[in-house]
């Protein structure tokens, strides 16, 4: 035990903290290993926080879902583009990328939603809306 | 058909869009409510009704006579509409 406290980074998309990697510094661009969001590191009084450099843009959500699929080895099917359009519609109307197939506009349903991050794809073969699929 | 089919949908849901497109492609006149675009009071009322009918909050919901179809299901739509 060296007494050094493990540093963590807060992700505003999945609202969880992940491990700070040695060498990262203020302004570093990193990918949240939990949800795939691209983050710019910012040191706040509460510790490391990731900012969303392209918040609310089409680029942001496309990169996030691609990264999330890559991190977990998931694949997309023919509905991908329609679901992306649905996510963009949610952002236009409800100010963030909530699941296009759900009624509720709450942080836990920001894509990839909490049930997806909790193992829905592993269990059911796909996420609730069918964006992410387990590889056959 | 006595009554027009009734569709409850979400404006952003691609499966709901496919159901609407299916009805339009088959020249079926229908009534549609995009539940996510309603004001809060109206939304609560409709969601309660949907949950009572289907036991869940899943979309689209299509009501054709006595038949209630949850999700985009072309086989069931065809059967219910006798296409």
Longest dimension (CA), chain A: 51
Helix, strand or coil for residue A9?
strand
Query: Is A85–B14 a contact, with Cβ atoms under 8 angstroms apart?
Result: yes
Judging by DSSP bridges, how do beta strands B61-64 and B31-34 pair with one another?
A: unpaired
B1 within domain boundaries: no
* Whole-structure pTM value: 0.91
Is the pLDDT at B35 greater than 90? The verdict is: yes
Each domain of chain A, given as residue ranges in start order, spans: 8-51, 58-124
B15 within domain boundaries: yes
B26 within domain boundaries: yes
Q: What is the predicted pLDDT for the residue at B3? A: 86
β-pair partners for A42: A49
The predicted-structure confidence for A63-93, as pLDDT tens digits, reads as follows 999 999 999 999 999 999 999 999 999 999 9
B76 within domain boundaries: no
B34 within domain boundaries: yes
Query: Which residue of B13, B19, B33, B57 is the best one to mutate when testing the A interface, meaning the one whose CB has the most A CBs within 10 A?
Result: B13
Q: Which residues of B touch A115 (CB under 8 A)?
A: none
The residues near A68 (Cβ < 8 Å, ≥ 6 apart) are A35, A36, A74, A112, A132
The predicted-structure confidence for A21-73, as pLDDT tens digits, reads as follows 999 999 999 999 999 999 999 999 989 999 999 999 999 999 999 999 999 99
Helix (H) or strand (E) segment spanning residue A63: helix A58-72
Contact criterion met (CB below 8 Å) for A67 and A38? yes
Task: Indicate which CATH number applies to the domain containing B12.
Answer: 3.40.30.10
B77 within domain boundaries: no
Total count of domains within chain B? 1
Query: Is A90–B15 a contact, with Cβ atoms under 8 angstroms apart?
Result: no
Alpha carbon distance B7, B51 (integer Å): 14
**DSSP letter at A5?**
P
Give the domain extent around B44. 6-69
């Amino acid at each position: 035990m060296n007494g050094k406290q493990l540093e963590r980074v807060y992700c505003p998309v999945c609202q969880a903290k992940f491990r700070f990697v040695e060498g990262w510094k203020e302004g570093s661009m990193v990918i949240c290993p939990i949800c795939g969001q691209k983050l710019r590191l910012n040191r706040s009084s509460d510790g490391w926080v990731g900012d969303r450099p392209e918040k609310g843009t089409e680029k942001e959500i496309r990169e996030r879902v691609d990264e999330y699929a890559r991190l977990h080895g998931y694949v997309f099917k023919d509905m991908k583009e329609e679901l992306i359009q649905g996510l963009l519609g949610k952002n236009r109307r409800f100010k963030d990328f909530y699941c296009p197939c759900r009624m509720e506009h709450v942080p836990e349903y920001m894509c990839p939603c909490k049930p997806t991050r909790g193992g829905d794809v592993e269990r059911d073969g796909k996420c609730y809306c069918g964006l992410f699929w387990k590889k056959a | 058909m006595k009554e027009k089919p009734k569709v409850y949908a979400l404006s952003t849901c691609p499966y709901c869009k496919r159901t609407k497109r299916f009805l339009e492609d088959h020249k079926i006149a229908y009534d549609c409510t995009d539940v996510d675009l309603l004001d809060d009071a109206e939304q609560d009322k409709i969601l309660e009704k949907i949950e009572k009918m289907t036991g869940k909050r899943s979309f689209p919901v299509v009501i054709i006579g006595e038949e209630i179809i949850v999700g985009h299901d072309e086989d069931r739509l065809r059967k219910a509409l006798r296409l």
